[in-house]
């Protein structure tokens, strides 16, 4: 079954022939770029958008992945779109519309026929307001079209011996801030520094949600008991306070997608 999906993906990419891949450096877009690079007679380039609300670590990893696999790659620096400065409920839609419109201009000016993204078959069943923007801009999602799930993609990456096969999912830093909150550069830097610190301490994929001066930590499955019993727990707390948080809390539900979105749907 997975091989059939894989063959279908290659067929889609060959038919498209000329395209830009929106490349975040995550598992899905990395797999898509890697797979496209392996195909003959395909004209493609990977574009990474760098904004204040994208984790620096993700940009660095995207660059390294592209370099190591000979993927043609550009990084675009984009100012914080004022339309999402107050983190509106439709933020994801507005952000995707803004950023992918810039990619569309690049594609048009440089002779690329299509824009692709790394949406997979699982994403279509989740809370993904940004998918509407992609549809409006005629962005193609070959992984979803081929029926490839996140599990399939990780399995194929493992088969190719690529270390990113078990890389935790990542999302923009705005997902750590409550909706209808004015976002400052200081907030984003605090969140980014806190998550980088926790990553270095052995908690990859951890989210630090910001609620005023409170840091609400959402750990990946299996890390809750580890962080509670961590002999360096006091150091973790002290470091996060030094970054700028007044209170440090651990969410006992752990990491889950759309936890901030749940807050507005329950009102």
- What tokens were used for 113? 């026929």
> Which parts of the chain have pLDDT scores under 70?
125-127, 258-267
Supply the pLDDT for residue 261. 56
Which residue in the block uniquely carries the two structure tokens 């940009």? 59
Supply the pLDDT for residue 227. 95
For residues 100 and 199, what is the distance between their CA atoms, to the nearest angstrom? 29
Strand ranges (E), 63-197: 73-77, 114-116
Supply the pLDDT for residue 237. 96
Supply the pLDDT for residue 61. 94
For residues 141 and 137, what is the distance between their CA atoms, to the nearest angstrom? 12
Supply the pLDDT for residue 203. 95
DSSP string, 222-263: T-HHHHHS-TTHHHHHHHHHHHT-SEEEE-TT---TTHHHHH
pLDDT digits (tens, 9 = 90+) for 98-146: 999 999 999 999 999 999 999 999 887 655 778 889 999 999 999 999 9
Supply the pLDDT for residue 222. 87
Supply the pLDDT for residue 221. 86
Q: In order of start, what are the domains of the chain with their CATH numbers?
A: 2-166 (3.40.50.620), 173-265 (3.30.300)
Supply the pLDDT for residue 262. 53
For residues 141 and 21, what is the distance between their CA atoms, to the nearest angstrom? 10
Kindly tell me the number of DSSP H helices and DSSP E strands found in the chain: 11, 7
Supply the pLDDT for residue 25. 93
């Amino acid at each position: 079954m997975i091989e059939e999906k894989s063959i279908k993906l290659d067929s889609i990419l060959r038919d498209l022939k000329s395209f830009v891949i929106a490349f975040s450096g995550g598992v899905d877009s990395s797999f898509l770029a890697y797979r496209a690079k392996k195909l003959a007679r395909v004209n493609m380039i990977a574009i990474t958008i760098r904004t204040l609300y994208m984790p620096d670590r993700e940009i660095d990893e995207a660059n390294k992945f592209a370099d190591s696999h000979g993927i043609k790659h550009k990084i675009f620096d984009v100012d914080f779109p004022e339309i999402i400065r107050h983190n509106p409920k439709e933020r994801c839609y507005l952000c995707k519309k803004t950023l992918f419109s810039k990619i569309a201009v690049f594609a048009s000016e440089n002779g690329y026929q299509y824009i692709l993204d790394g949406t997979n078959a699982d994403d279509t069943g989740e809370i993904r307001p940004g998918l509407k923007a992609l549809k409006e801009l005629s962005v193609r999602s070959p992984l979803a079209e081929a029926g490839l799930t996140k599990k399939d993609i990780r399995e194929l990456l493992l088969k190719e011996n690529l270390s990113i096969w078990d890389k935790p999912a990542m999302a923009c830093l705005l997902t750590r801030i409550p909706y209808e909150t004015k976002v400052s550069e200081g907030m984003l830097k605090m969140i980014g520094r806190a998550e980088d610190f926790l990553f270095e301490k052995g908690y990859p994929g951890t989210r630090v949600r910001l609620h005023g001066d409170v840091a609400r930590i959402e750990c990946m499955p299996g890390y809750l008991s580890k962080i509670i019993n961590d002999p360096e727990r006091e150091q973790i707390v002290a470091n996060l306070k030094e970054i700028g948080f007044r209170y440090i809390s651990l969410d006992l539900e752990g990491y889950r997608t759309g936890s901030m979105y749940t807050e507005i749907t329950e009102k």
